Amino acid sequence: MTYPTPASPAPTPQLVQVPRVIGLGLGTAEAMLVNSGLSVGSVTASSSGTTAGAVVRTNPGAFSSVPRGTPVNIVVDAG
């Protein structure tokens, strides 16, 4: 009698932590995200009263654990 081979479980994605890039310039923030194993998602501008061009928030937020390669959306101050 032959028994079916059980299916292998799907590999668990490697999780990485989103670095805190608030207050950094866009280029520096993008480099930190890429160096952390993430990708850069959309970049939008918002008036927040801080330094023009500085990152004001990300989604997912800083210190979130996400699968490697996840795009991180960035909002920068429009100035």
| Single pTM value for the model | 0.82
Question: Can you give the CATH number for the domain in which 35 is found?
Answer: 3.30.10.20
- Is 1 within the bounds of a domain? no
- Between 78 and 41, name the one with better pLDDT: 41
Counted domains in the chain: 1
Full domain range(s) for residue 23 = 15-77
Express each pLDDT in 57-72 by its tens digit: 999 999 999 999 999 9
- Is 38 within the bounds of a domain? yes
Across the chain, what does the average pLDDT equal? 92
- Is 31 within the bounds of a domain? yes
- Is 2 within the bounds of a domain? no
Tokens representing residue 57 in the block? 């928030």
- Is 7 within the bounds of a domain? no
DSSP secondary structure letters along 33-62: HHHTT-EEEEEEEE--SS-TTBEEEEESPT
Is the pLDDT at 8 greater than 80? The verdict is no
- Is 9 within the bounds of a domain? no
